[in-house]
């Protein structure tokens, strides 16, 4: 799959939460397809280890910038966008980093409202803050925003009320963004169930080895972005490229 570029300047993606799980797999996929990538994660050691492995696998240390930080920190968001500007032409922002909330998943009757507020901050408010900073470049470059969502945003699964509400909020922000920003393509992409730390936290103590690794969602996400599909739509990554 080739990278769609409108000039010779290298395309740059920001992928939040690239130190493990889906974000890390997506960073690897983007690097493989010629993108330069800026990514992050709060744990600096885990991020540094991931970046070292990804750079070694790619054989190119210059196309990956890994900045330790929290997406709730506005200065860190400024740093992500500035790093992308230094690397080349910002074409893609993937809103991937996020949280699950309390584990085990509480029923709404027992949900701590403070935890819900914190989850909205990381899953909906922080992504909007990042998009606001990236918009000037994304408009100029006719770039793409990918909001990583979940079926829990649409379905009423017991215990998933907090997480699902924050993902529903993220999805609605993405839909309105698509309506307001005709020069930017905005996708909502559900990666499907994946064998990650977040998924394990949703099913504590359970064997989740039957779930596929996060790499299975990557070809679908890359295809949706590369094909420059219509803005404002919702896609299921694993349905794009059946196993
Ligand atoms: N796994 C699934 O089955 C599944 C299904 C549907 C949707 N999703 C969505 O897919 C995305 C990735 O999920 P995942 O399962 O890969 O999660 P994960 O395994 O928990 O990984 C999350 C990544 O985001 C980073 N992160 C978390 N909070 C952050 C913050 N405040 N600031 C910066 N980085 C942060 C983590 O690093 P640090 O902890 O070091 O910060 C890590 O790199 C999420 O949006 C999730 O909702 C997952």
More confident of the two residues 15 and 58:
15
- Closest atom of ligand 1 to CA, residue 20: 43
Taking residues 72-93, report their average pLDDT: 98
Q: Which residues contact 33 (CB under 8 A, 6 or more apart)?
A: 1, 2, 3, 222, 226
Taking residues 218-226, report their average pLDDT: 98
Nearest to 24 by CA among 110, 97, 122: 97
In the chain the domains, ranked by start, together with CATH numbers, are: 11-240 (3.40.50.720)
- Closest atom of ligand 1 to CA, residue 19: 43
Give the closest residue (by CA) to ligand 1 atom 37: 41
Q: Is the CB of 40 under 6 A from ligand 1?
A: yes
pLDDT for residue 9: 72
Q: Helix or strand or coil: residue 60?
A: coil
Long-range pairs, 151-156, Cβ under 8 A, ≥24? 151/190, 151/192, 153/190
Ligand 1: centre distance to CA 214 (Å): 11
- Closest atom of ligand 1 to CA, residue 167: 47
pLDDT for residue 243: 62
23 by Cβ neighbours in 10 Å (0-12 / 13-18 / 19+) ranks as buried
pLDDT for residue 41: 98
Nearest to 44 by CA among 78, 76, 12: 76
Taking residues 196-212, report their average pLDDT: 98
pLDDT surpassing 50 at residue 233: yes
121 DSSP 8-state letter: I
pLDDT surpassing 70 at residue 194: yes
pTM of the model: 0.97
Ligand 1: centre distance to CA 7 (Å): 32
Radius of gyration of the chain measured on its C-alpha atoms: 17
pLDDT surpassing 70 at residue 242: no
Confidence at 36, pLDDT banded by 50, 70, 90: very high
pLDDT per residue as tens digits for the range 49-77: 999 999 888 777 789 999 999 999 999 99
pLDDT for residue 8: 59
pLDDT per residue as tens digits for the range 105-135: 999 999 999 999 999 999 999 999 999 999 9
Ligand 1: centre distance to CA 203 (Å): 15
pLDDT surpassing 60 at residue 3: no
């Amino acid at each position: 799959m080739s990278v769609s570029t409108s000039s010779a300047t290298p395309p740059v993606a920001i992928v939040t939460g690239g130190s493990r799980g889906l974000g890390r797999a997506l960073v690897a996929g983007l690097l493989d397809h010629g993108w330069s990538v800026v990514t992050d994660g709060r744990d600096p050691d885990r991020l540094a280890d991931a970046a070292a492995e990804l750079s070694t696998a790619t054989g190119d240390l210059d196309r990956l910038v890994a900045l330790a930080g929290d997406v709730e920190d506005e200065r860190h968001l400024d740093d992500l966008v500035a790093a992308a500007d230094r690397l080349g032409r910002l074409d893609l922002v993937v809103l991937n980093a996020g949280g699950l909330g309390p584990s085990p998943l509480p029923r709404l009757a027992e949900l701590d409202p403070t935890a819900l507020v914190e989850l909205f901050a990381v899953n909906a408010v922080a992504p909007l803050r990042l998009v606001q900073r990236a918009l000037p470049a994304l408009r100029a470059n006719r770039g793409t925003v990918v909001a990583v969502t979940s079926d829990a945003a649409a379905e009423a699964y017991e215990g998933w009320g907090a997480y699902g509400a924050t993902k529903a909020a993220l999805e609605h922000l993405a839909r309105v963004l698509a309506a307001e920003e005709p020069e930017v393509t905005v996708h909502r992409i559900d990666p499907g169930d994946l064998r990650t730390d977040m998924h394990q936290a949703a099913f504590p103590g359970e064997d989740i080895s039957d779930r596929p690794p996060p790499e299975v969602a990557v070809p679908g996400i890359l295809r949706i972005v590369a094909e420059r599909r219509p803005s404002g739509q919702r896609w299921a990554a694993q349905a794009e490229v059946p196993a």
